[in-house]
Amino acid sequence: MWTFITIAVIIFIVYKMVMKNAKSNHAIMYGSGSVAPKQPTDEELIANAKLLTQKAEALIQADIVGDQATANAINANTYNGPLPERRADGGWLSIFDNLRILSIAGINHRQGVDRYTGRVECALVPEPTNEYDPNAIKIVAEDSHHLGYIPSNQTDFVCSLTGDTFPYHCTAFIHEAEDDIDGHRFFVGHVYIKQKDKGE
């Protein structure tokens, strides 16, 4: 949600600046009496920003699952398949049957997370010595830095995705967000888990 709103606002501001300059140049070239071409509405700009964000996310998902045909179609602007939608928690719904996207629990209780914003290649690692949940699965960066956990109500599901094979490679995306009410800044993270292929 926060990322989409930020992108939409930036596109809107840039558009307004460009159009202001364009109108000024048009008046200089053709005089104030000429009719300027129809400009997109604010709603159309927001819709275009959402579409660009969805295509970018679809490209990320295609890369993670190794679907080069979909990635090529998106890059060539010929893709007409489904586009991902946002969930209430700010994460994305997957457009691939073999990819699941889950929130990272406890990310704001981990030190040094600010060094890992953006895309982070990670591993899922069981933590049977966890005093609160012996079934806990932690998410660690490639340098072994602990970023958070799989939500406790999703650990069985994750084990089914991984075939109980650990450590298991995954990809995380982490960004900093701001509370709309009090301005408090915090981190939001989601982990992308590709289901283990049969025969692996």
The pLDDT tens digits for 80-107 are 999 999 999 999 999 999 999 999 999 9
C-beta of residue 189 within 8 angstroms of C-beta of residue 147: yes
C-beta of residue 67 within 8 angstroms of C-beta of residue 59: no
Taking every pair of Cα atoms in the chain, the longest distance, rounded to a whole number of angstroms, is 77
C-beta of residue 70 within 8 angstroms of C-beta of residue 157: no
The pLDDT tens digits for 161-182 are 999 999 999 999 999 999 989 9
Topology of the domain comprising 97-200: Alpha-Beta Plaits (3.30.70)
Which of 142, 136, 103 lies closest to 122, judged by CA? 142
C-beta of residue 68 within 8 angstroms of C-beta of residue 103: no
Q: What is the pLDDT of residue 18?
A: 43
In one-letter notation, the amino acid at residue 152 is S
In the chain, domain spans: 1-88, 97-200
Q: What is the pLDDT of residue 101?
A: 98
